Amino acid sequence: MGRYIVRRLLGAVVVVWVVSVITFGIFMIVPKITGASPAYLYVGKISTPAQVQAVEHNFGLDLPIPQQYLNYMSGIINGRTVSDGNSTSRCSAPCLGYSFRKNLAVTDLLQSHFTVTLGLAIGASILWLVGGVAVGILSALRRGSFFDRVAMIIALAGVSLPVYFTGLLLLTVFSYGPSWLRLVPDPTFHPFGQDPLLYIKSMILPWISLAFLFAALYARLTRASMLDTMGEDYIRTARAKGLSNRKVISKHALRAALTPIVTIFGLDLAGLLGGAILTEKTFSLPGLGALAVDAIGLQDLPVIMGVTILGSMFIVIANVVVDVLYGIVDPRVTYK
């Protein structure tokens, strides 16, 4: 198993490296082709060629692209010194460059925004895992019942409704609705460190709206997976051996039915950690997704690159973790 994990991790490093090359290529070569130097973003609306050249020099944008890439990668591994032409500051590893628009190191920006996204993803994932899987199991066990029908209709609605619709609906009812319904009158984001209670209050609606979408998906997936598993020969054998219904479900059916759930959960969580763009924008949460959207709007290339590389890293790591978890969840899986 150890060799398998090492092999997968090495593969993951190669994938992230390829992503970094492609990302860097897109964001650095395209401006060269179009003539829109990133320095224009720093200089502002009214600029002279001399200003642009000076800024390009300050930020090393006048170096050959391979050299810029080497500097970038060296910054990720060793850190680097960033200069604005007047003062220099140390950008510690992993240094992902410097935001032209915000005058901040990209790593610092990612750190501050990641904590928000992490909180959103963890809270929502707990809700959707508990809610979605439980409803899916119950629906499968009571197939065709009133509960099953209602649960699947709600799940269909959940899958169909986009987050920005659900989010705005929740805000309209619980933040701006009639006073007796205003359970979250101030949806403004408050950091956990500032006031944990206010943090939870400000995150309840985002958690619910994000979890609603995923819970619906997971309920349908769990139900289908459970129904498949319950029809397997080994379940019939377990029943024939006289095991109780609870043991059949928990020891045999559930473990096998959860394998696809673990796969999809790992990838969903990793995708969210790279930025839950719609949820963050709808609730004005300063997470990675909102940072990426703002950076795209402002054409802040170093930030866009940083978010892209970080997001891809989460996906790759999640794939490795999911593969390892297969063996733990499903005894039929062996590592080679």
Partner 1 sequence: MSNIRRVTRLGAIAAVGALALAACSSNTATTPSTSASASAATGYNAAVDNIVNPSTATGGTLKLAAQGDCDSWDPARTYYAYCWDLQRLFTRSLMGYAPLPGAKGTAVVPDLATAPGAASAGNTVWTYHLQAGLKFQDGSTITTKDIKYGIQRLYASDIINGGPSQYYLCLLSTCDASGAPAYKGPYKDPTGDLPSIATPDDTTIVFTLNKAFGDFDYLMTLPSAAPVPKTADTGAKYTTAVVSSGPFEFKSYNPSTGVVWVRNPNWSQATDTIRHPLVNEVDLQFVSDPAVSDKQLQAGTIDLEADGGVQATLMAQIDASAALKVNSDNPTTGFSRYLAVMPSVIPNIDCRKAIFLAINKADLVKARGGSYGGDPATTMTPPTIPGYVAGYDPYPVGADFTGDVAGAKAALAKCGQPNGFSVNMAYVNKGRGPAVFLAVQQALARVGIKVVSSPGDSATYYSNFIGSPSNIVAKKLGIAVAGWAADFPTGYGFWESIADGTTILPNGNTNYPSLNDATINGLLKGSTSAAVADQAGIFQKVDHAVMDAAVYLPFQFDKSLYYRNARLTNIYLNGGVGNYYDYVNIGVGGGS
Say whether residue 181 binds partner 1 (CB under 8 A). Answer: no
Torsion of CA 163, 166, 188, 130, to 10 degrees: -80
Say whether residue 185 binds partner 1 (CB under 8 A). Answer: yes
37 φ, ψ (degrees, to nearest 5):
-60, 140
Say whether residue 180 binds partner 1 (CB under 8 A). Answer: no
Say whether residue 115 binds partner 1 (CB under 8 A). Answer: no
Say how many Å lie between the first and final Cα of the chain, rounded: 8
Element (H, E) at 90: strand 88-91
The rounded distance, in Å, linking the Cα atoms of 169 and 257 is: 34
Residues near partner 1 (CB under 8 A), total: 53
Choices 143-151, 281-289, 312-320, 322-330 (CB under 8 A): range interacting with partner 1: 281-289
Applying CB under 8 A, among 171, 219, 305, 316 the residue interacting with partner 1 is: 171
186 φ, ψ (degrees, to nearest 5):
-120, 95
Binding mask 18-37 for partner 1 (x = CB under 8 A): ----------------xxxx
3-state secondary structure 187-202: CCCCCCCCCHHHHHHH
Say whether residue 168 binds partner 1 (CB under 8 A). Answer: yes
Please choose, from the candidates 226, 235, 283, the residue with its C-alpha nearest in 3D space to the C-alpha of residue 254: 226
Say whether residue 45 binds partner 1 (CB under 8 A). Answer: yes
- Asked if residue 270 lies in contact with residue 318, where contact means CB atoms within 8 angstroms, the answer is yes
Residue number, 123 or 287, with CB nearest to partner 1 = 287
- Asked if residue 332 lies in contact with residue 291, where contact means CB atoms within 8 angstroms, the answer is no
Applying CB under 8 A, among 8, 20, 23, 55 the residue interacting with partner 1 is: 55
Say whether residue 41 binds partner 1 (CB under 8 A). Answer: yes
Residue number, 232 or 294, with CB nearest to partner 1 = 294
Chain centre distance of CA 76: 21
Q: How far is the CB of 284 from partner 1 (least distance, A)?
A: 4
The rounded distance, in Å, linking the Cα atoms of 276 and 279 is: 6
Say whether residue 17 binds partner 1 (CB under 8 A). Answer: no
Choices 12-20, 67-75, 179-187, 245-253 (CB under 8 A): range interacting with partner 1: 179-187
Residue number, 89 or 145, with CB nearest to partner 1 = 89
Please choose, from the candidates 270, 313, 310, 331, the residue with its C-alpha nearest in 3D space to the C-alpha of residue 96: 310
- Asked if residue 19 lies in contact with residue 305, where contact means CB atoms within 8 angstroms, the answer is no
Binding mask 76-105 for partner 1 (x = CB under 8 A): --------xxxx--------------xxx-
Is the alpha carbon torsion for 107, 108, 111, 117 positive or negative?
A: negative
Say whether residue 60 binds partner 1 (CB under 8 A). Answer: no
Give the residues lining the site for partner 1 (CB under 8 A). 34-37, 40-51, 54-55, 57-58, 84-87, 102-104, 109, 112-113, 168, 171-172, 175-176, 182, 185-189, 191, 280-284, 286, 290-291, 293-294, 299
